[in-house]
Structure 1
């Protein structure tokens, strides 16, 4: 059933915004025209421009932050404020086309809990960021055991009840897309990707993402969520590397000095301890999900 019809699953559209009044003035009228029954929420993350007046003129819900708390904090505020069964998150800077929300919703109607708009190479802000995102996608795909087509895309539709399960894990800054993607995959909730056409940012606006600082943060988030949901994916390769190094060093010292050295013993012991830590972490994770499911 189309989301524009009465009786369809309720829809909330959340737009985190920090000084994006120009973008909102273009995006909000299109959203209201396409989805007159949707709940449109602009989370004003400490803006100093005329975001408030734009929201008032368009008669949408504005939830203000008293100061800038970050993109992730704005998304969390929007999820808590939303009442729709389905929540669409999108940027307020004009990069995401309201007309493509229908692509996400149509895909969700086939049984998915989250659908993400996947950008092509031309949709990346720069060549460096495109290469970084390709690395993140590969690493995240290995961590969760599924293909991650676009880890950092902020254009996505989610079942609100599912997203709220992980809201405490979302960072206040960047990147909430990374966390939600990996959490949904590792929790076993079906995730799909659809191709989207990302527009250029409006003239005079700049991205709030800092390449190096936020890039390292993305990597830490990947490892954090991976450790939380699949610890052996982290611990086992480290243990195997230490064991292989210890074996190689032992063979070298045995052939050259006919000795088993303390260094070999340390490497073997470290490999065993890390492997056992991984097993214990895996059991803790299993128990955590067992409690959550009520079994």
Structure 2
């Protein structure tokens, strides 16, 4: 089996080289191979130079690089990466250091056991390190997850998680529309409509960052997420 690791990047010059190194170093369980697909969403800093430097220093690592000439948003970068994926499964890895690539194997476990089509990594299931940051962000996340569950008849604990391990053929067959952070509720709603799909959720670590450290999501994205939950949950 092959896993496609999709890395959308926008102005991540401080972290993108480090996350590429960590992803490249991960040894996947069950003889799973990997490909790394990086989409630079028209960064205005040295993100591209850092990616090129990593490629030059690591010619044996399978890194496929794409660049948007116009900024399209995180969802738009993910759409590009999805179209390029050739693995049996895919997962999104943010270009910051909030999520730990060593935990890919935790998400792969239900897949390798033959019981899952989709595995979400939950930051709220407990048992793993979780940086303490913003109270209202946590409340907002719980509200969005609850609304998504209600519209999609699921019982997830973390709909907004970056770590969504999905069968590639399923997500490539979807007409995905959301260009920013609305990708999360949209893909969740569309996955939930697939007949007999097998959803799993596992606990993961979370090393969150502050806005001073580069966090980009804001309150406007929260309202957009509510719109997406209603739109894709009601209108099919």
Pairing partner for 1:67 from 60, 67, 70: 70
Question: What residue number does 1:146 align with?
Answer: 154
Alignment map for 1:109-128 (pairs within 5 Å): 109-110=112-113, 111-120=115-124, 122=130, 125-128=133-136
Question: What residue number does 1:199 align with?
Answer: 207
The reply on whether 1:219 has 2:215 as its aligned counterpart is no
Structure 1, gaps ≥5 residues long: 1-8, 230-295
**Aligned partners of 1:88 and 1:155 also within 8 Å:** yes
Separation of aligned partners in 1, 2:116 and 2:132: 26
CA RMSD of aligned residues (A): 2.0
The reply on whether 1:228 has 2:231 as its aligned counterpart is no
Alignment map for 1:73-84 (pairs within 5 Å): 73-84=76-87
Which of the pair has more CA radius of gyration?
1
Which one has a larger percent helix, Structure 1 or Structure 2?
1
Alignment map for 1:2-41 (pairs within 5 Å): 9-35=1-27, 37-41=33-37
The reply on whether 1:91 has 2:91 as its aligned counterpart is no
Specify whether residues 142 and 69 from structure 1 end up closer, same or farther in structure 2 by C-alpha distance, changes over 3 A only. same
Q: State the TM-score, normalized to the length of structure 2.
A: 0.86
**Aligned partners of 1:117 and 1:195 also within 8 Å:** yes
**Aligned partners of 1:23 and 1:202 also within 8 Å:** no
User: SS where residue 87 of structure 2 aligns?
Assistant: coil
Separation of aligned partners in 2, 1:102 and 1:196: 11
Following superposition, the deviation at residue 177 of structure 1 comes to 1.5
User: SS where residue 222 of structure 1 aligns?
Assistant: helix
Question: What residue number does 2:58 align with?
Answer: none
Q: Which has the higher contact order (CA 8 A, sep 6+)?
A: 2
Pairing partner for 1:47 from 39, 43, 47: 43
User: SS where residue 12 of structure 1 aligns?
Assistant: strand
Report the count of equivalent residues.
Answer: 219
Following superposition, the deviation at residue 63 of structure 1 comes to 0.7
Q: State the TM-score, normalized to the length of structure 1.
A: 0.70
